[in-house]
């Protein structure tokens, strides 16, 4: 099978790395990819926001399966574009249709869906300019901290958690007047959930599902969870508090009602669901749905799936996920993201990277990397490269991951030193 992965980050590298191991693959393409993906497949220079360009490539190269990495093409309707096109309708495409992508694309849609299908989540109130006064009043009935969420996609920055009522009221007004552009024309005020977060991943064909390895993500830039939010600075899988009993609760209370809801809403969903959960005293509550895999969680999770990913994706596309064999590794993976100095604010690009030949017993996933005109690997983004190592426990995996992290050099390199430390107490 010829397969095309859309995207250019560490997540897409991890997909490509795993897909390349399958005997079911003939040719693997990544568009636009990065300096690493070009070694596991072939990079294609196309703008993935231009669906006609994607179509032309798919037909020209005889691509039989498309794996959509990021959320934007899904929210923009790439799956519907394929299904409604006479020449593309039989191509397998992994991801939900545009309506399903609203689970990530609109927080208000996701909250209404969860309420309708009794999926446990924080209670909430949706505000627009038309009912601002009610929104300000609602805040006075809530306890601090106050959680304000821009309805639409805001590059991971649209959630504010605020300690004072006055500031929350100020921010609510500011968001409705365009703080995050049209993404915050609608704002969801949510009750604060106190607990530990975990990212759970499901692959569904709309009827059946497979629960993939879970992971814990480290969102803040600084050690000890300090500083600004980022796309994610590291990940650990499995997560010690995700016991079989906890997974059972997630399946019964969240995954099954979610899939039932997809069916009742006539949503065509053949793809990944990333459920951001809060574990509140042993009970799971949904913080958010994403309609794609997490980054950097995927960089760890893919290394823990022993089964053939292409066989899983093929079964997913054909609605027979109940028939596949699925096995995961008992190892623990620790993933550390190396980022450009200054990230998540301004940072320099084009820094030459060295040390690759000294790495051992780890898997590196290129994210923001490219080749310069001297064919050197240079940085080209904020999150540059993810190093994943396996061990029999977090301690062992951490030690191996950090030994390798220290060998990769580029000017301004930064990373967190505490990935996994908080989980060692469980």
Residue 59 or 228 having the CB closest to ligand GLY: 228
192 binds, among ligand GLY, ligand AMP, none (CB under 5 to 8 A by kind): ligand AMP
Q: Does 147 bind ligand AMP (CB under 6 A)?
A: yes
295 binds, among ligand AMP, ligand GLY, none (CB under 5 to 8 A by kind): ligand GLY
Interface residue with ligand AMP, options 193, 280, 359, 421 (CB under 6 A): 193
Interface residue with ligand AMP, options 12, 71, 190, 214 (CB under 6 A): 190
Q: Does 192 bind ligand AMP (CB under 6 A)?
A: yes
370 Cβ neighbours under 8 A, 6+ residues apart: 34, 35, 377, 378, 380
CA 26 to chain centre: 27
Residue 151 or 314 having the CB closest to ligand AMP: 151
| Min CB(67)–ligand GLY separation in Å | 16
| Min CB(362)–ligand AMP separation in Å | 27
> Residue 169 half-sphere exposure, CB side, CA atoms within 13 Å?
13
The C-alpha atoms of residue 268 and residue 98 are separated, in whole angstroms, by: 9
The C-alpha atoms of residue 242 and residue 200 are separated, in whole angstroms, by: 10
| Min CB(125)–ligand AMP separation in Å | 12
79 binds, among ligand GLY, ligand AMP, none (CB under 5 to 8 A by kind): none
Residue 14 or 189 having the CB closest to ligand GLY: 14
Interface residue with ligand AMP, options 288, 395, 396, 422 (CB under 6 A): 288
Of 317, 354, 337, 329, residue with least CA distance to 402: 337
Residue 106 or 290 having the CB closest to ligand GLY: 290
Of 338, 337, 341, 309, residue with least CA distance to 325: 309
Residue 190 or 217 having the CB closest to ligand GLY: 217
13 Cβ neighbours under 8 A, 6+ residues apart: 34, 36, 37, 40, 299, 365, 366, 367
Residue 193 or 211 having the CB closest to ligand AMP: 193
383 Cβ neighbours under 8 A, 6+ residues apart: 9, 10, 230, 231, 232, 295, 296, 337, 338, 339, 343, 367, 368
| Min CB(115)–ligand GLY separation in Å | 23
Residues that bind ligand AMP (CB under 6 A): 122, 147, 149, 159, 161, 190, 192-193, 197, 276, 287-288
């Amino acid at each position: 099978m010829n397969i095309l992965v859309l995207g250019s980050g560490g997540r897409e590298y991890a997909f490509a790395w795993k897909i390349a191991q399958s005997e079911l693959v003939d040719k693997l393409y990544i568009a636009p990819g990065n300096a690493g993906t070009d070694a596991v497949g072939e990079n294609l220079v196309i703008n993935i926001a231009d669906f006609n360009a994607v179509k032309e490539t798919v037909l020209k190269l005889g691509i039989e399966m498309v794996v959509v990495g990021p959320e934007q093409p899904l929210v923009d309707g790439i799956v519907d574009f394929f299904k409604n096109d006479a020449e593309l309708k039989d191509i397998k495409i992994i991801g939900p249709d545009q309506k399903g992508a609203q689970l990530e694309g609109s927080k208000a849609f996701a909250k209404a869906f969860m309420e309708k299908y009794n999926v446990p989540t924080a209670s909430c109130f949706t505000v627009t300019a038309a009912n601002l006064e009610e929104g300000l009043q609602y805040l006075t009935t809530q306890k601090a901290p106050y959680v304000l969420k821009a309805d639409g996609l805001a590059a991971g920055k649209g959630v504010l958690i605020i300690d004072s009522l006055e500031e929350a009221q100020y921010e609510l007004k500011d968001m409705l007047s365009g703080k995050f552009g049209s993404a915050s024309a609608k704002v969801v005020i949510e009750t604060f959930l106190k607990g530990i977060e975990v990212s759970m991943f499901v692959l569904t064909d709309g009827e059946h599902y497979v629960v993939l390895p879970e992971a814990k993500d480290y969102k803040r830039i600084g050690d000890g969870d300090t500083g600004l939010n980022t796309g994610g600075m590291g990940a650990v899988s499995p997560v010690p508090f995700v016991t079989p009993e906890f997974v059972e609760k997630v399946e019964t209370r969240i995954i099954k009602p979610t899939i039932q809801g997809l069916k009742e809403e006539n949503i065509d969903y053949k793809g990944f669901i990333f459920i951001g959960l809060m574990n509140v005293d042993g009970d799971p509550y949904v913080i958010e749905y994403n309609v794609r895999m997490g980054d950097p969680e995927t960089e760890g999770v893919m290394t823990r799936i022993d089964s053939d990913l292409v066989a899983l994706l093929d079964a997913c596309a054909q609605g027979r996920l109940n028939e596949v064999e699925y096995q995961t590794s008992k190892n623990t993976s620790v993933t550390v993201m190396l980022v450009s100095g200054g990230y998540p604010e301004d940072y320099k690009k084009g820094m030459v990277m060295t040390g690759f030949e000294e790495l051992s017993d780890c898997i590196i996933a290129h994210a923001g990397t490219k080749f310069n005109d001297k064919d050197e690997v240079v940085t080209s983004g904020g999150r540059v490269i993810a190093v994943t190592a396996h061990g029999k426990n977090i301690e062992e995996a951490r030690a191996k991951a950090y030994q390798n992290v220290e060998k990769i050099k580029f000017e301004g390199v930064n990373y967190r030193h505490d990935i996994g430390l908080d989980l060692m107490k469980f």
